[in-house]
Amino acid sequence: MKLGKDLAELTAGIDQLYRSTPRSDGFLDREGLIPVAVAEVEPRTLRDYDEATAELLALRGRLGAEAESALRRDYLDEMIDSLLALVTTFAEGEISFAEQVRRQIRVDTQLVGEDVLEGYRAIIRQKLDEMGFAGSALADDLARWEDKVRVPVDAVLETMRALTLEARERVTATMYPMADQWMEPVGVSAVPFSAYCDYPARKVLMNLDFPYTRFALKHLATHEVFPGHLVHLTLRERYVAEGRMPLDAAQLVTSSASSAV
C-alpha cells in the first residue's frame, strides 16, 4: 500500500504543477490531470517537471523490491511510464503523438486493417438492407436510417433518463446493488464531447448540439452510468475507503494506464 500512497501523492503533485501553468479556459484544460478523486490525497510538493521526473524514476526503482505482486509491479510500472510521458508533454519536451498514445494510454499505434474495416462495413450493409435502407451508397443509406430514428432534441434527456433507469435495474439485478445510485441527465452545449460523467455532481452532461438515436443513447447510458463510469467510480470509492484498494485507485488520471481500468 505504501507504493500506492506515494504514487497518489506524486500524481496529485503533478496535477498541481499542471494547474499552476496558465492555460485556456476550455472544459478539458480545467479538468487537470485528475478530473476525479474519490478520496483525499495530500499532493507532493514539486518545484518543477524536472523534479517530478526524478521522483517518478525513484519510485519506479522501488517496484522490484516493494510491489506486492508481479501484476501490481507491472501495472505501477506502466502507470509511472504514462506519467513520465505526460510530464514530457506538459513540459513541452520532444515526444511524438504516436509515443504519447502508446505510453500514456497503452494503445498500439497501428492502423486497423482494411479487412477488419470491410468486415464492419459488410455487417452494417447487411443490417441496413434488412431494415429496408438499400439502393444507395452505404453512407447515404446509413444517414437515411439515422434521420428516421433520431430522437428529437426536446426528448433526449427524458429518453436518456428512461434508459438509465432500465440500466440501473439490470445492473442491480445481475451485477452490483446500485438502486441507491443515480446520475441525472443534464443538457449542455458548445462542449468537446457527446456525454460526460460528472461523478462529484452525480450528473451526466449531454451535449444537445449532437444528434442521437435511441441506440446511441442506450450506449451512452451504459457507458457513462450503469454499468459504466458511475458504477466503476462508486466501487473504487468504496474499496479505497475499506482498504481493499490502494490510495492510487482513488484517482481518475487523464490519458494514463489507468484509463483502461
Q: Are 171 and 75 found together in one domain?
A: no
Q: Are 132 and 206 found together in one domain?
A: no
Closest CA to 229 of 162, 184, 183: 183
Q: Are 165 and 191 found together in one domain?
A: yes
Question: Of the residues 121, 149, 177, which one is the last residue of a structural domain?
Answer: 149
- Which SS3 state, helix, strand or coil, does residue 245 take? coil
List phi, psi (to 5°) of 243.
80, 15
Q: Are 83 and 160 found together in one domain?
A: no
Cell numbers representing residue 39 in the block = 478520496
Q: Are 55 and 116 found together in one domain?
A: no
| pLDDT score at 142 | 97
144 alpha carbon, distance to own chain's centre = 31
Number of structural domains found in the chain: 3
Question: Of the residues 149, 178, 210, which one is the last residue of a structural domain?
Answer: 149
**Strand pairing category for 203-207 and 195-198:** antiparallel
- Model confidence over 88-124: pLDDT tens digits? 999 999 999 999 999 999 988 888 999 999 999 999 9
Q: Are 92 and 116 found together in one domain?
A: no
**pTM, rounded to two decimals:** 0.88
* Upstream peptide bond of 185 is cis (omega within 30 degrees of 0): no
Q: Are 99 and 22 found together in one domain?
A: yes
| Distance (Å, whole) CA 196 – CA 159 | 16
Q: Are 7 and 105 found together in one domain?
A: yes
Q: Are 82 and 23 found together in one domain?
A: yes
Domain hosting 89: range is: 2-110+236-260
- Model confidence over 23-66: pLDDT tens digits? 777 776 778 899 999 999 999 999 999 999 999 999 999 999 99
Q: Are 161 and 192 found together in one domain?
A: yes
Q: Are 214 and 170 found together in one domain?
A: yes
- For the ranges 16-20, 27-31, 77-81, the lowest mean pLDDT is seen at 27-31
- Model confidence over 122-173: pLDDT tens digits? 999 999 999 999 999 999 999 999 999 999 999 999 999 999 999 999 999 9
Q: Are 241 and 184 found together in one domain?
A: no
Instruction: DSSP letter for 18, please.
Output: H
Residue type, 201: A
| pLDDT score at 110 | 85
Helix (H), strand (E) counts: the chain: 11, 5
